[in-house]
């Protein structure tokens, strides 16, 4: 243990503690920009490039970076001296000297950490005008826009992409003033191995990385003569309220439905219904594989980033992911067949809009495999939770005080199992709830598989399944997925089923969710709300949803049968690693 003083306050800390960590224990705020520390996910970015966290070591005539400097015995630190204040201000001014000043029309206006920091340190003018980095904006992908003229070289994105996700698309290239975070051979994003998970833009402090904005496409569709229906994912409803000042984890399902109707959608549906259908298909597929002892382990396929990751990196294992489409794509496919038939509408005259916590869903909806033989996409437009929040603000709705409404029928009822799709471990838990009863023929008394829950990157369990022991694993974050797949490929580990989500913590921490700015407590509260939704449901198993039963009886026929495969299943593509 070490003794030191910060702003005349004594503190005792463990060896290895940084000045920044020690100051936090005393509730002293030291501004940071490049620093990122998500303890729950074991994610740390320590590039020490911005230097806005400088503090003064009294008597040493030294300025130290608080985020990277470990405490020493007897240190006397000031975080509030005139010298520190001037140094921090100069650091921010130097960053601004090479930064665009289009804040009013910037996609990150109001959410930009550099903008907020400039206000906090009292920047009134830019004293150091000079040459600025000019780069071509990369709008090549359906999901992510790169504008490196707004990059401050904090390398948070590089840490997420290369260290956490192990995708390796983003890295710093060049030297000196010409340094930029780029891609291999300056290739556009859509020509790389990028999975479009959006974790880079989720941690980017500026607007160097943002999502492709589809808001105008939705407004145009709503102004057309077509029938426009919308579906919402389970992670959206426990995060949307944050945009309107509501507490993280607040379930705003009813208000969200009312708001969507106010926007002008013809029908408002719940992706959770399709999540229940996904479980019927996925559990059937799991039982089939277990029975025939083939293509194990089954890998879940709800996450498009994860699917693209395996296509690029594990081409020899493309036979083991489930062939099920993701829930929102299943919903779109059902809507443009069964629902269109019920409504007497030509599928060409129907527009399906998905509200998702994920920017990769934008890319996914454009995959040619997820369209009919006539070329009609299952899902036409995807917007994120953030985009929906912006659109509702455009309408000047008093969102927190809206009355609650119910989803439209048919395809509006869902089980608790569908609710937990939004968090890491939820898809596998939902599948086990159904597979257990199908395999054993017994009633499942306890529906809570707590060993599959939480923010831990890799979770393992052995589930009794009749005379079998079902070996399962859950991973969130693509780096953890790589560890699991490598262990399977080498023969070191054996599983029967694995759930994989690209984003740490699952969809609740998706790249399209309201920014958390590094606060993992927000993610935990969203997770708690997801499980609370499950507990409130009368029906908590997908195969007991009466509307899903009706869908199969009237339209799909046998689960995992020929028609179900035609409408609800897909194929994968071997992709080069770039």
Which of the residues are catalytic? 282, 285, 302, 322, 361, 364, 369, 507
Cβ partners under 8 Å of residue 456, min gap 6: none
Helices (H), 237-337: 253-263, 271-292, 304-313, 327-334
Q: How far apart are CA 19 and CA 360, in angstroms?
A: 38
Length of the chain: 578
Output phi, psi for 215, to 5 deg.
-60, -45
Q: Which residues contact 160 (CB under 8 A, 6 or more apart)?
A: 43, 199, 200, 202, 203
Q: Kindly compute the dihedral angle of the four CA atoms of residues 234, 239, 244, 248, in this order, to the nearest 10 degrees.
A: 140
Instruction: Tell me which residue of 342, 244, 234 sits closest to 278, measured CA to CA.
Output: 234
Give the H/E segment covering residue 232.
Answer: strand 227-232
Paired tokens of 469: 């022991």
- SS3 of residue 497 by DSSP: strand
Check: CB of residue 263 under 8 Å from CB of residue 419.
no
The Cα–Cα gap between 555 and 565 comes to: 13
For residues 410 and 547, the answer to whether their CB atoms sit within 8 Å is yes
Q: Rounded to whole angstroms, how far apart are CA atoms 77 and 48?
A: 19
Q: Which two tokens stand for residue 331?
A: 């919903």
Give the contacts of 388 (CB within 8 A, at least 6 positions apart): 236, 240, 355
Are 390 and 215 in contact by the 8 Å Cβ rule? The answer is yes
Taking the C-alpha atoms of residue 366 and residue 358, their distance in angstroms, rounded to an integer, is: 14
What angle separates helix 385-394 from helix 215-222, to the nearest 10 degrees?
60
SS3 260: helix
3-class state of residue 306 by DSSP: helix
The b-or-e profile of 324-356 (16+ CB within 10 A means b, else e) is bbbbbbbbbbbbbbbbbeeeebebeebbbbbbb
Percent helix, strand, coil in the chain, to 5, is 40, 15, 40
Q: If we measure between CA atoms, which residue out of 567, 91, 163 comes closest to residue 372? A: 567
Distance (Å, whole) CA 47 – CA 278: 42
* 535: CB partners within 8 A, 6+ apart: 416
End-to-end CA distance of the chain: 47
CA torsion sign, 411 to 416 to 418 to 423? positive
401 Cα distance to chain centroid: 27
The answer to whether residues 485 and 310 touch, using CB atoms and an 8 Å cutoff, is yes
Query: Residue 408, Cβ neighbours under 10 Å: how many?
Result: 17
């Amino acid at each position: 243990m070490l003794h030191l003083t910060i702003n005349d306050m004594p503190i005792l800390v463990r060896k290895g503690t940084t000045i920044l960590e020690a100051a936090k224990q005393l509730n002293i705020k030291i501004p940071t920009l490049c620093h990122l520390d998500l303890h729950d996910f074991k994610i740390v970015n320590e590039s020490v490039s911005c230097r806005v966290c400088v503090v003064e070591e009294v008597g040493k005539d030294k300025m130290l970076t608080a985020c990277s400097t470990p405490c020493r015995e007897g240190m006397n630190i000031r975080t509030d001296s005139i010298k520190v204040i001037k140094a921090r201000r100069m650091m921010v001014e130097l960053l601004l000297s090479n930064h665009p000043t289009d804040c009013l029309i910037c996609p990150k206006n109001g959410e930009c950490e550099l903008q907020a920091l400039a206000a906090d340190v009292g920047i009134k003018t830019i004293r150091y005008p000079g040459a600025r980095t000019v780069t071509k904006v990369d709008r090549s992908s359906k999901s992510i826009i790169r504008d490196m003229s707004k990059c401050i070289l904090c390398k948070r994105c590089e840490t997420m992409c290369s260290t956490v996700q192990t995708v390796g698309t983003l890295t710093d290239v060049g030297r000196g003033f010409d340094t930029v975070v780029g891609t291999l051979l300056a290739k556009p994003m859509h020509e790389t191995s990028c999975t479009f998970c959006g974790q880079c833009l989720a941690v980017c402090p500026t607007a160097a990385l943002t999502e492709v904005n589809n808001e105008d496409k939705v407004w145009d569709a709503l102004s057309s003569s077509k029938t426009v229906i919308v579906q919402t994912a389970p992670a959206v409803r426990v995060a949307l309220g944050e945009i309107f000042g509501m507490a993280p984890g607040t379930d705003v399902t009813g208000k969200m439905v009312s708001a969507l109707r106010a926007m002008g959608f013809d029908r408002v549906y719940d992706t959770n219904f399709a999540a229940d259908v996904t479980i019927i298909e996925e559990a059937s597929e799991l039982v089939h594989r277990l029975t025939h002892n083939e293509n194990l382990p089954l890998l879940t396929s709800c996450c498009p980033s994860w699917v693209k990751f395996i296509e690029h990196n594990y081409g020899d294992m493309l036979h083991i992911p489930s062939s099920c489409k993701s829930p929102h794509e299943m919903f779109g496919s059902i809507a443009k067949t069964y629902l269109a038939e019920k409504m007497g509408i030509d599928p060409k005259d129907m527009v399906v809009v998905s509200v998702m916590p994920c920017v990769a869903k934008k890319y996914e909806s454009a995959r040619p495999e997820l369209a009919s033989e006539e070329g009609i996409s299952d899902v036409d437009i995807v917007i994120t939770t953030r985009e929906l929040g912006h659109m509702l603000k455009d309408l000047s709705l008093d969102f927190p005080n809206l009355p609650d409404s119910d989803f439209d029928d048919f395809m509006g009822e869902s089980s608790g199992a569908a609710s937990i799709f939004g968090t890491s471990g939820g898809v596998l838990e939902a599948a086990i709830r159904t597979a257990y009863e199908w395999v054993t023929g017994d009633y499942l008394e306890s529906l809570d598989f707590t060993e599959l829950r939480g923010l831990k990157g890799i979770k393992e369990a052995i589930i009794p399944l009749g005379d079998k022991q079902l070996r399962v694993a859950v991973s969130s974050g693509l780096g953890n997925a790589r560890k699991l797949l490598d262990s399977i490929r080498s023969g070191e580990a054996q599983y029967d089923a694995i759930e994989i989500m690209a984003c740490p913590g699952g969809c609740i921490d998706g790249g399209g969710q309201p920014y958390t700015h590094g606060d993992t407590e927000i993610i935990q509260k969203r997770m708690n709300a997801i499980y609370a939704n499950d507990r409130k449901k009368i029906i908590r198993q997908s195969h007991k949803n009466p509307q899903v039963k009706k869908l199969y009886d009237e339209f799909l026929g046998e689960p995992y049968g020929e028609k179900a495969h035609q409408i609800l299943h897909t194929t994968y593509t071997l992709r080069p690693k770039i």
